Amino acid sequence: MTAKPLPCPFCGGEPTIIRRTGAYGVRCTCEGKRFLHTYGKTETEAVESWNERRSSDNQPVDNYGESGD
């Protein structure tokens, strides 16, 4: 049995599992403001990818996209 997707990390909403030709996906529309998704060859891969959480010690990048010294 496939694991259940965790709530959306941004809005806390219930994600939806979708099936595409040759792939599965998990997505959340974040109350219509964002569209987040992950994909995998199997439903299990898609859910595992969705449920993976990156380390919380990541920090925002200052001045992203600006050039200079």
pLDDT in tens, 4-43: 999 988 788 899 999 988 899 999 888 777 677 888 999 9
Mean pLDDT (whole number) for 44-63: 74
Check pLDDT > 80 for residue 65.
Answer: no
Q: Which two tokens stand for residue 58?
A: 């990541």
Q: What are phi and psi of 40, to 5 degrees?
A: -155, 165
Residue type, position 23, single letter: A
Would you call 32 helix, strand, or coil by DSSP? Answer: helix
Question: Is the separation of the CB atoms in 34 and 57 below 8 Å?
Answer: no
Residue 67: the pLDDT is 60
CB within 8 Å of 67: residues ≥ 6 apart: none
Q: Where are the domains of the chain?
A: 1-53
